[in-house]
Amino acid sequence: MNRGYDGNPIFAGNVTKSHFLDYLESAVTEMKMRIFAYCIMDNHYHMVLENTTGKMSDFMKLLNGNFGMYYRKRFGGQGYVFQSRFKSTIIEDDGYLIQSIIYTLQNPVRAGLVTRANHYTWSSSHCYFSPELSKIVDTQYVNELFGSKDSLFGTCDSMGRKELCIIKSEYGEILGSSEFIDTAFDKFDRRQRPTEQSIGSQRRDELYYEPVEKVIQEFQTRNDTDIYAIDTRSLKGQRLRGELLLNLKEGAGLSYKEIAGIEIFKNLKFSTLRSMYRNMKQKRSR
């Protein structure tokens, strides 16, 4: 999950929620992530997903980064759009997965916005047991978990406003049994001891890069400019665009494909971006 900075209502209104869903669909398609449930509230969102490709960090970076840039372009202002990188909880098995899906769908009920989960528009509640195939959610798997629409929303009703029994640890939050926690800790410890070879082969490690919107915000503050107002026809504008490219590559760890999706770089070929990056690195070293 993630929320607006200082609890700001960054998803207030149907238009922003609709745009977030567009970015979610795009990120799911590109990163091949498997989504079981989602819910978009005014100041935060929840998702239940399976990290099928091992690129959850890249997926969240793409989703939050794209929406953050859209939000600043539409509403203006500076600073962070989201409170932090993102918050995640590991889930043990289907039994706990069911609890997590229900908890996610019940968000608007707990907030007092609706009396039943399926009355809320901006969640995946309307996707299940529907003749129309969802482009975001793996509805077939969830349908098999619950068996019927009555069972799904009956379970939602029975849960009411209950919270999840999440265990907090030094490794993060876990939804599971005590036996699973020991196994998860052991796997985490092994993953934190990479070999020198694996460290060298990592293209982008989430431990070493900043969120995209943070890099952009600091660039704008440092140069007293808005990236959408830079005139790239001028020498100064071209220099600023080159500096931004360098920051996005080395500060946020973005690929050329991801950078090309940002408005100021949209008309540039990958070969041009590579040349620009090499030139800026040479200038910096000099």
The rounded distance, in Å, linking the Cα atoms of 19 and 73 is 13
Write down the pLDDT at residue 240: 94
Residue 120 CA, distance from chain mean position: 22
Using an 8 Å Cβ cutoff, are 144 and 129 in contact?
no
Amino acid present at 80: Y
Reduced to 3 states (helix: H, G, I; strand: E, B; else coil), residue 83 is coil
The rounded distance, in Å, linking the Cα atoms of 7 and 105 is 20
**Going by C-beta distance under 8 Å and a sequence separation of 6 or more, which residues neighbour residue 283?**
none
The rounded distance, in Å, linking the Cα atoms of 105 and 46 is 9
Using an 8 Å Cβ cutoff, are 124 and 134 in contact?
yes
- pLDDT > 70? residue 260: yes
DSSP readout, 205-235? -TTT---HHHHHHHHHHHHT--GGG--TTSH
- pLDDT > 90? residue 102: yes
The full set of domains in the chain, from first to last, is: 2-193 (3.30.70.1290), 212-285 (no CATH)
The rounded distance, in Å, linking the Cα atoms of 178 and 167 is 9
Reduced to 3 states (helix: H, G, I; strand: E, B; else coil), residue 148 is coil
Q: Is the dihedral of CA 225, 229, 234, 240 positive or negative?
A: positive
Mean pLDDT for the stretch of residues 67-78: 87
Q: 88, 86, 77, 6: which is closest to 43 by C-alpha?
A: 6
Per-residue pLDDT of 7-66, as tens digits, reads 899 999 999 999 999 999 999 999 999 999 999 999 999 999 998 888 898 999 999 999
Strands 172-175 and 89-91: parallel
The model carries a pTM of: 0.68
Which residue stretches of 160-265 are H helix?
178-191, 196-201, 212-223, 235-250, 256-260
- pLDDT > 50? residue 196: no
